Structure 1
Amino acid sequence: MTRSRAFAGAAACLVAAGTTTLMPLAAVAAAGPDRASAISWHACPQYSDAALKAMMPPAQIPEFKQLWARTECGTLDVPLDYRHPSGRHIGIAVTRLKAVDQAHRLGSLALNPGGPGGSGYLMPVQYVMRHDNGNGAKLNQRYDLIGFDPRGVGYSTKLDCAQPPNPPQPGSPATEADARELYDWTVRNNQACGKRDPAFLGQLTTANVARDLDRVRRGLGARKLSYLGISWGTWLGVLYRELYPGKVGLMWLDSTAPPDFRLDTFSAGRARATALDFGRDAVWIATRNSTYGFGTTARRVQDAIARMEKELNARPKTFTDLPDLRFDGFMVAQMAGQPSPNWPTAAALMKELRDATSGGPAPALLKQFFSRQGGGGPLPPDVPEQFNRTMNQAVFCNEDTGPRDFGTFWAAYRKDLKRYPVTGALTPPINSCAGWQLPAQAVRLHHSDAPLMMSAHRYEVPSPYPWSLLMRAAVGGSVLTVDDDVHGSTAGMASDCAPRIAAYFSSGRPDHGECQGVPEPTSTQPLKNDTPFAFAKSPLTRVPFGI
């Protein structure tokens, strides 16, 4: 998944439903002849110093330039609708970082960071620059690393629906009137977006991105394509394997999506996972009661934070130097719904908020984190797009076959407020695809013997652990169990699990074992130099969140 600007615990998933079109994937994949094209290679974009400084720490710029000089950039022409291959075509942007050791090259390895809506154009270079786990550099020794912008994103053909300003701002907890107001607002906006170019928007599906990816394989002249995907990139990998099982080299999926693409199910699974992970957090806080003062047992910590959330819902706190923010119970729910690397910061924020006097200046840590909300001004114009909201919305709304009525999500929200007193407020109280009028396109998966490795994180929220087991039962493959709660950490962070990926792509041997992953923090020192997460102002205005 792209790096979300929302709390992982919030799990603000987009929701879709409506008329279902069940179309055999293989039938579309095998549609009639078309003017399949090769990749048109061209000079890569050259970024200004301002753009590079906005994209990475200054110390990394020399290495980026060196790797970017090795990178090849191209464009591939593909059908918009694979059922009509001679009709309208679109462009897919591709990058290739060739293997260092060409004499012992193992093939091409495509990368996807997640989303939907995330850009993978720079991912080969970015992955090699991740020196903490070393996987990128190891893989690039013998693999050509392939990046691409999925249709609807970045340098590929895309469409941007304007983000409407000033959405309704409910209180915490949201009232039914609040939720209905935003539901109606969402219907109007989704209907307006859907009318922009329905022929294009209706073809923004994961299955079509998988078809595009196989065109990339053909354009590279590769007999088979290996693949590494994270978050939504796992769903893309599963559908590529479903469509083209004989074209899969090796495949590793980290933080896997569920086989049943219903976003009401997403919401329920994430709500339960968030509450369970907060239970672990409460144990951690309790063992450090001398620092935080919430209680000496997990139960006492949970009760104390639940009372704090209730009190702030009744009497939100405000601060003179953060005039645009109201600190209510929803803010506490977000702090409590953090993955373990953020526990020291989140616990310190909760302590400061508990002890602060409303109406005066904000305490230091609260001011540090919340004064940054809203960003640091416009980006340089040549910074490549990293995330496309319209593609995110369209893919979810075109694929989910669950309900899109008001009552289903409102009832789930009210139920979770009671079931999970601290984190239940993070359940989405409305369907974010309400009013999306393009039909949902269901997918039927099948068991396959094509290569597949999945890493499943025992305590994570965005892709709860049971989802990987369900996916294994549906399609086959092997599962590595990671004993952490960090989304995508096996591919993206330093841990004892990270070397397993490079080992798999080198040997091809499945890994059925377990590893620790990212350990729980031992220090209570909060982060000071960067904000690893951002806060939404209300439960109805969270940014889109992928899988």
Structure 2
Amino acid sequence: MNASEIRRIGRRAAVTVVATGLAGSLLAVAAPSASAGQTVPLVAWRSCPAYSEQTLELLAPPDKQPQLRELLGRLECGTVSVPLDYRHPHGRQITVALTRLKARDQAHRLGSMALNPGGPGGSGYLMPVDVLVRGDATAGLNERYDLIGFDPRGVGYSTKVNCTPGDQPDQPPPGPVTEDYARRIYDAQVAALAACGRSDPAFLGQLTTANVARDLDRIRAGLGESRLNFLGISWGTWLGVVYRTLFPHQVGRMFLDSVAIPRFSIPAFQQGRIEAAERNAGRLTAWLAEHDDTYGLGGTAADVRAAIIALRADYDANPRRFTDLPMPLDGSLIATAAAQNAPVWPLVGRILAELRDATGPTAPPTVKEVLGGPDEPPSTPPADAPERSNRTMNKAAFCNEDPSRSDFATAWAAYQQNLARNPMTGRTLDFSAGCAGWPLPVQAFRIRPGGGSLVLSGHPWETPSPYEWTLQTRAIVGGTLYTVDDDVHGSALMECTADVIGFFDTGRIDGGCPGVPVPASVPTGPAATAQFSRI
């Protein structure tokens, strides 16, 4: 069992906002200007999709339903027509879907702010609603800015294609991945990528960040804005710096949180992330040592680290089977626990202590609560729920821009090296062929300094976007460094809300904020378990 499988079977208490809206009239609005060489686009405003009560209930908890419905009632939905291939602007056209929440204070309106949640392949269609429902303080974003959401090409309501999943090897036995099984994974992934890339090369070859940035500039022009403001998270930060490179004179204020790797390849991506996870696990060991009287895992950080590594090795060598869990447990569960963010460290301590002491035949209570039992049905979204992310766009955008095409020997050696160098968290990695087998040419993009006002927000301890990526990106493109002192991916908007809103309102910002705090005490009970299940 690997980390991704654990996350799939774990209960997920948080659901990203999807979509609904108030029906509007079909209306085409011409923009006054577009970027040089572009035809002035049209925004076709049309009725927003309608969704069932079941879907609406997933968008927000009961106490947020009135606010949710008020925001959905204000939402405007539309599309912009863009060239599939910008080298042939009068060739095949596709559509990009967008939404708008107009600024509440129109008299002091500052412009439009586009939002992107990450990916590639993530849907931003309802992100304007999402960020406002998540916290009362974020309402300030919409006070003087029109908030713009959109589905990038290849996602959701925009033009897309979906490759069929390829055949996968049978489920492996518990324990570390063997070289023989890794080769089967490699061959299956290479075949699936090759088949996908050949299925519609004309479309899939145009799924690049640069083209999404060009589409975004069409949206800007269609909205009648001379400059576009932008808030991006994770891959959305890569989209932001690519947009700024291509359209330096169209950038207003740009805040990028959890900055993506500036020179992309899947091997570098994986290595950076797992090294960051191991680094943050060092903080976990120190915290557990401070609470040794509760967990008994060791009185020093070194003792706790040794205990975690020994427990992971023991579960890999001797996987445990419990009658009330649908799968055996091996060392990947210990590694996944060690790689968690600080807010759930109290729960991690309980899980590790329970796994150390487990004798069966049933699973320890906290482990059972987190993983679920064999009779628990899988969670599926309602049939009318819009797409939250698109796997085909994700793979195509990565592989169109990734210059690495590792053969099996290279991929296997890198995997083994990462395991050896990161003994606490390395087992969270899935062995992968990366982009080997992708049949379309590489379209690597080099970012450069641009215009507007740029803030790059990094988190010193986070795993998905290691802090050094923020520093590396700043060395290339410039901008103001803003540090959120936590390990939580994309937390700036919620934890540093006043600073983010202040930047968009005034163009000024200080050096950072504390972010999500490390727990000072040891909470217990269902609330802590629910917090872990949102990871």
Deviation of 1:32 (Å): 5.5
1:356-435 to structure 2, matched below 5 A, reads 356-358=358-360, 360-371=361-372, 376-435=378-437
TM-score (norm 2): 0.90
Q: Which of 310, 313, 319 does residue 307 from structure 1 map onto? A: 310
Contact 2:175 2:319 in 1 (8 A): no
Q: After TM superposition, give the deviation of residue 415 of structure 1 in Å.
A: 1.6
The 8 Å contact of residues 255 and 455 in structure 1, kept in 2 or not, is answered as: yes
Q: 1:61 to 1:93 in 2, by over 3 A?
A: same
Spell out the pairing of 1:453-532 with structure 2 (5 A cutoff): 453-491=455-493, 493=494, 495=495, 497-511=496-510, 513-525=511-523, 528-529=526-527, 531=530
Task: Go from structure 1 to structure 2 and tell me whether the alpha carbon gap of 1:294 and 1:433 turns closer, same or farther (over 3 Å shift).
Answer: same
1:438–1:38 CA distance, 2 compared to 1 (3 A): same
CA distance in structure 2 between the partners assigned to 1:533 and 1:525 by the alignment: 12
In terms of mean alpha carbon deviation, does 210-219 or 185-194 score higher? 185-194
Q: CA deviation at 1:524?
A: 2.1
Distance of 1:372 and 1:88 partners within structure 2: 50
C-alpha distance in structure 2 between counterparts of 1:205 and 1:6, whole Å: 30
Q: Distance in 1 between matches of 2:525 and 2:471?
A: 34
Q: How far 1:416 moved relative to its partner? A: 2.3
Unaligned regions of 5+ residues in structure 2, if any?
9-33
2:446 counterpart (444, 447, 454): 444
Answer yes or no: is the 8 Å Cα contact 1:119–1:150 preserved in 2: yes
Kept after mapping to 2: 8 A contact 1:483/1:516: yes
Q: Which secondary structure state, in structure 1, belongs to the residue aligned with residue 94 of structure 2? A: strand
CA distance in 2, matches of 1:172, 1:456: 35
Alpha-carbon contact 2:185-2:433 (below 8 Å) kept: no
Cα pair 2:115 2:149 within 8 Å, conserved: yes
Aligned residue identity for 2:426: G
Taking CA–CA contacts closer than 8 Å with sequence separation of 6 or more, which of the two structures ends up with the larger relative contact order?
Answer: 1
CA distance 1:202–1:533, shift in 2 (3 Å): farther
Task: Identify the residue that residue 542 of structure 1 maps to in structure 2.
Answer: none
Residue of structure 1 in register with 2:272 after alignment: 269
> Corresponding residue for 1:232?
235
- Shift in Å, 1:490: 0.3
Give the deviation of 1:151 after TM superposition. 0.7
The structure-2 alpha-carbon separation of the partners of 1:533 and 1:165, relative to structure 1 and needing over 3 Å to count, comes to farther
Give the aligned partner of residue 70 of structure 1.
74
- Range moving further from structure 2, 400-409 or 174-183: 400-409
Distance in 2 (CA, whole Å) between partners of 1:429 and 1:188 is 16
Give 1:378 shift. 3.2
User: Contact 2:35–2:221 (CA<8 Å) still a contact in 1?
Assistant: no
Quickly say closer, same or farther: Cα 1:50–1:428, change in 2 above 3 A.
Answer: closer
The amino acid across from 1:202 in the alignment is G
- Aligned mates of 1:89, 1:157 — CA distance in 2: 10
Match of 1:187 in 2: 190
Q: 1:242 aligns with which of 232, 241, 245?
A: 245
Shift of the 172–411 alpha-carbon distance from structure 1 to 2, 3 Å rule, reads same
Distance, in Å, in 1 between the alignment partners of 2:117 and 2:296 is 39
Q: Distance in 2 between matches of 1:533 and 1:291?
A: 19
Residue matched to 1:15: none
Q: Deviation digits for residues 105-141 of structure 1, max 9, x if unmatched?
A: 0000000111111111111111111226x12x10101
Shift of 1:200: 0.9
Distance 1:528 1:195, change over 3 A: farther
Work out the CA distance in 2 between the residues paired with 1:5 and 1:222: 44
Find the counterpart in structure 1 of residue 16 from structure 2.
none
Whether the aligned pair in 2 keeps the contact of 1:116 and 1:395 (CA below 8 Å) is yes
Question: Relative to 1, partners in 2 of residues 1:68 and 1:30: Cα closer, same or farther, differing over 3 Å?
Answer: closer
Deviation at 1:366, TM superposition (A): 1.3
How many angstroms does 1:47 deviate by? 1.5
**Range moving further from structure 2, 513-522 or 456-465:** 513-522
- Partner residue of 1:253 out of 248, 256, 273: 256
Deviations 1:217-273 (A, max 9, x none): 011011110000000000000001001010001000000012211221112211211
Q: Kindly indicate whether the alpha-carbon contact (under 8 Å) linking 1:153 and 1:388 is maintained by their aligned counterparts in 2.
A: yes
SS at match of 1:326: coil
Residue pair 1:344, 1:525 contacting (<8 A) in 2 also:
yes
Cα deviation code 1:13-46 (max 9, x no counterpart): xxxxxxxxxxxxxxxx989555x43110011112
Note the alpha carbon deviations across 1:264-285, whole angstroms, 9 max, x for none: 1112211211111000000011
Among candidates 65, 70, 84, match of residue 61 of structure 1: 65
**Offset, 1:326:** 1.3
CA contact (8 A) 1:341 1:521 kept: yes
Question: 1:443 offset after TM fit, Å?
Answer: 0.8
CA distance in 2, matches of 1:7, 1:47: 27
TM-score (norm 1): 0.88
Q: Which residue of 1 aligns with 2:122?
A: 118
Structure 2: distance between partners of 1:165 and 1:176? 19
1:21 corresponds in structure 2 to none
Displacement, 1:447? 2.4
| Deviation, structure 1 residue 295 | 0.4
Q: In the alignment, which residue of structure 2 is the partner of 1:24? A: none
Matches of 1:234 and 1:375, distance apart in 2: 36
Cα pair 1:99 1:145 within 8 Å, conserved: yes
8 Å Cα contact 1:41-1:73 kept in structure 2: yes
Q: Deviations over 1:307-360 (max 9, x none)?
A: 1111111110111111x31110111111111111121222211221221124x1
2:208 corresponds in structure 1 to 205
The answer to whether 1:340 aligns with 2:342 is yes
In the alignment, residue 443 of structure 2 is paired with which amino acid?
A: Q
In the TM superposition, residue 167 of structure 1 has moved relative to its aligned partner by 3.9
CA distance, structure 2, for counterparts of residue 65 and residue 295 of structure 1: 50
> What amino acid sits opposite 2:99 in the alignment?
T
One of 346, 352, 355 as aligned partner of 1:353: 355
Kindly indicate whether the alpha-carbon contact (under 8 Å) linking 2:35 and 2:217 is maintained by their aligned counterparts in 1.
Answer: no
Amino acid at match of 2:44: S
Classify 1:302/1:7 alpha carbon distance in 2 versus 1 (closer, same or farther; 3 Å): farther
What secondary structure sits across from 2:327 in the alignment? strand
Go from structure 1 to structure 2 and tell me whether the alpha carbon gap of 1:440 and 1:427 turns closer, same or farther (over 3 Å shift).
same
d(CA) in 1 for partners of 2:156 and 2:213?
17
Structure 1: gaps (5+ residues): 9-28, 537-547
Distance in 1 between residues matched to 2:125 and 2:450, nearest whole Å: 29
Task: Name the residue aligned to 2:23.
Answer: none
Which amino acid in structure 2 is aligned with residue 274 of structure 1?
A: A
Aligned to 1:298: 301
Could you tell me how far apart the structure 1 residues matched to 2:492 and 2:35 are?
Answer: 35
